[in-house]
Structure 1
Amino acid sequence: MPVEIYRRPMARSGLVIAALSTLFFLAGCSKEDSGSQQGGGMPPAAVVVETAEQTNATVRQDYAGRVRGAREVEVRARINGILEKRLYEEGRMVREGDALFRIDRKPAEAALQLAQAQQQVAAADLRQAEREWKRISSLYNRKAVSERDRDAAEAAKEAAEANLSVSRARVTKARLDLGYTEVTAPVSGVTSLEDLPEGSLIDAGTLLTTIVQLDPVHVRFALPENDASIRRAAREGMTRANEKQDVTARLVMANGNEYALEGRIDFTASTLDPRTGTVSARAVFPNPDHEIVPGQFVRVRVELQNFEDIIAIPESAVGEASEGPVVYVVDDESKARARIVELGPVTDGKQILLDGLEAGDRYIVSGLSNLRDGAQVNVTNDGASEGAD
């Protein structure tokens, strides 16, 4: 029995030793496998590239604005009288010179007749004064009358001449007043409602209606303080009225469509609005078909800058480094190389590069996560790589 008790522990010890040997062997194999994987390294990062090409770009900016007529003219009566008739249809288009209202002509006609009669009297008085002057001057030369008589005759003649000039001016004014009995449109445009009904007694200066000129139209909008290039070009254009304006503009309608005809910025204020930090500006657009209606809210699209022979890439291709913005390019060894670039403005979703990238460079647009300078990469879009080669 003691022998049996002694042999069992020995058997158990052998089993334990065998199990430990197996574990050590497996651990060694695991370390060897792990070492072999580490020696092989991570696989190259999969990236998508595009080839840089030189292009021209225009930087545009939209500004909210409101349309106004180029001119909003108040039509007023120029004489007193009875408003006899309205000669236009309210809200319709009228042309410059079209008759709008008729004021009672009879008082003006009578005033013209009176002025003409007074002119005839003045002309007769002048003829009499001239005859008297001739007689007195002849007698004075023969020493038959005094110098005082001669001066009186000369003064009478001069007074008669002045009276005739006054009477002629009265006739001219009377003719003008008679013409003012027909109120005409000073500009072409759309009329508003009449302010007074027919039969009203009106005075000179009474507002009769308003005309809004629709061609061209003005769009007033506000420029941010830092858009100095537009303000400078517009001011230079205003000082050179005979030269073509440098700052052109496009109009984006409320439905998002771009207006077909091009406009220009003809005015920018010289002072800044302290409440909004903006500068008032105005653009002029031709409107021959009256598509643009005063009062509309629109957007003015302005060309801020034009770039020629530059590189423009997607915004997502630009990364950030401690030295500044970078773009990763793929070299001939399929390695990613970080390029420090100088950024310009963004236009149409493209980032303009002023420096740092050349035409023909293959730059990475996708797969930039955790990418390092000098890392091996795998270009997945073969078309771009072949095109680059």
Structure 2
Amino acid sequence: MIRPPLPLLGVLTFVFLAGCSEEVAEEAPPQPVMVVQPQPASESIESYPGEVHARYEPELAFRIGGKVTERLVEAGDRVRKEQALASLDPQDVRLQLEGIRAQVAAAEANLRVARAERDRYKTLLDRQLVSRSQFDASDNAFRSAQARLQQAKAEFDVANNQVGYATLRATRDGVIAQRHIEVGQVVAAGQTAFVLAADGEREVAISLPEQAFERHAVGQEVSVELWSQPGRQYPGRIRELSPAADQQSRTYSARVAFTDAEVTAELGQSARVSIRSKAEVPLAVPLSAVTAEQGNAYVWRVKADATLERVRVRTGSFGESQVPVLEGLNADDWVVLAGVQLLHEGQAVRAVDRDNRSVVMAAQE
């Protein structure tokens, strides 16, 4: 028996092993991937946190300035219409009232003298003992005295009102939402002392980001969920939308009114406002199916020959579990659900659904 040389035997062995390796690589089974089809977008709804407020929240302020001598209510106290809330030192306005009262008395006395003088000149004129010009002068003095008395009485009424303005009273029934003054503080006329949450309608205050402002409008229907009543949705509508953004938060404030006036919402309660988008968002895919690169969104789509291709898509606002797809996919496409970071273009795969059942591509049926 003739044995081949040892070097030749080594070469033959290497070639044999290499051929086996190529056969093993070619026969490697396709990688299983879990796939889903895009579904109608159920998360084309934007949610915003909010807080329950009163429909009317007037800012109460003194109509005159002065030093606060008494504060009768605290934040959270319930008040009735015309109930006294706080008082200013009335000494200055009372002194002013007394001074104008004296002016009224002087004007009345001056009017009596002017009236008597005019009557006397009238009698003398009838007897032709004085000229017509002398009588006209006395009549003008009388009319001027009348005007000065009328002016003094008007000033007295104003001063008398200011004495009443030294006591701040509630304009409506409600709850004191905020307090901004303390005893001993000197306040100016018109400076906010209290914020009153009036009884009656309740609404939710929310803040809309800049990118969402153009998608919403006054009168748009929404749904409201109170934190204290999870799962229960109350219909509402956007009643007010600020045209200017807040300088610090750069958000637009909005007020949402309840459609049902008998909603049991208490002041300060937390709420969530859900607004359905007006734009058409036909399809959506799970969050885990989307990857991003250089500002673009992509998904992996399974082609008819069971290989992968990376497809660029245009997405909408991300939801809690889904991403609305505006462009790039069809309803009958199959996209990879998970493990998308480990895939590459043209890779052979075996598609399975969530229940680990094989998915047959349409072209393979």
TM-score (norm 2): 0.62
Deviation at 1:212, TM superposition (A): 3.2
Structure 1 residue 18: Cα displacement: 11
Structure 1 35/282 Cα, relative in aligned 2: closer, same or farther at 3 Å? closer
Aligned to 1:195: 183
Amino acid at match of 1:266: S
RMSD across aligned positions (CA): 5.8
Partner of 1:166: 151
Deviates more, 1:373-382 or 1:162-171: 373-382
Name the structure 2 match of 1:55: 41
Instruction: For residue 155 of structure 1, report the CA deviation from its aligned partner.
Output: 1.3
| Equivalent of 1:148 in 105, 122, 133 | 133
Distance 1:219 1:55 in 2: 27
Q: 1:75 to 1:289 in 2, by over 3 A?
A: farther
Give the number of the structure whose residues are more often helix, by fraction: 1
| Cα deviation 1:275-323 (Å, max 9, x = unaligned) | xxx646545578973326xxxxx9998969654233221233234689x
> What is the distance in 2 between the residues matched to 1:268 and 1:371?
47
Amino acid at match of 2:329: L
State the Cα deviation string for residues 95-123 of structure 1 (Å, max 9, x = none): 45311356679957967875775575466
Distance 1:352 1:176 in 2: 63
Q: Which AA in structure 2 matches 1:377?
A: R
Gaps of 5+ in 1: 1-13, 197-201, 238-243, 293-297
CA spacing shift, 1:173–1:340, aligned 2, 3 Å: closer
Structure with bigger gyration radius: 1
On the 8 A contact 2:226/2:271 being kept in 1, the answer is yes
Per-residue CA deviation, residues 62-88 of structure 1 (Å, 9 max, x unaligned), is 7999x9x966655476689x96xx583
**Residues 266, 251 of structure 1: CA spacing in aligned structure 2 closer, same or farther, 3 A cutoff?**
farther
Residues 90 and 63 (structure 1), Cα distance of their counterparts in 2 relative to 1, 3 Å cut: closer
- Identify the residue that residue 311 of structure 1 maps to in structure 2: 283
- Say if 1:88 and 1:120 are closer, same or farther in 2 by CA, change over 3 A: same
- Structure 1 counterpart of 2:260: none
Tell me how far 1:353 sits from its aligned partner.
1.9
Matched, 1:266 2:272: no
CA distance in 1 between counterparts of 2:40 and 2:29 reads: 33
Q: Which of the numbers 335, 338, 348 marks the counterpart of 1:366?
A: 338
Tell me whether 1:88 sits opposite 2:72 in the alignment.
Answer: yes
2-structure distance, mates of 1:99, 1:221: 35
Native 8 Å contact 2:33 2:349 kept in 1: no
TM (norm. structure 1) is 0.59
- State whether residues 71 and 182 of structure 2, in contact with CA within 8 Å, keep that contact through their aligned partners in structure 1: no
1:96/1:186 contact within 8 Å kept: yes
1:290 aligns with 2:267: yes
Is the 8 Å Cα contact of residues 49 and 362 (structure 1) preserved in structure 2? Answer: yes
Which range moved further: 111-120 or 324-333? Answer: 111-120
In structure 2, relative to structure 1, the CA distance for the partners of 1:246 and 1:144 (3 Å cut) is: farther
Post-superposition shift, 1:180? 3.7
Do 1:75 and 1:185's aligned partners in 2 also have CA atoms closer than 8 Å? Answer: no
Q: CA 1:329 to 1:290, structure 2 compared with 1: closer, same or farther past 3 Å?
A: same
Aligned to 1:377: 350
Structural mapping, 1:1-389, within 5 Å? 33-34=20-21, 36-37=23-24, 41-55=27-41, 57-58=43-44, 60=46, 73=60, 75=62, 86=70, 88-91=72-75, 92-101=77-86, 117=105, 121=109, 124-125=112-113, 127-128=115-116, 131-132=119-120, 135=123, 145-180=130-165, 182-185=167-170, 189-190=176-177, 191=179, 194-196=182-184, 210-214=193-197, 227=210, 230=213, 244=218, 265-266=241-242, 268-269=244-245, 279=250, 281-284=252-255, 289-291=266-268, 306-319=278-291, 325-366=297-338, 368=340, 369-373=342-346, 375-380=348-353, 381=355, 385=359
Contact 2:298 2:311 in 1 (8 A): yes
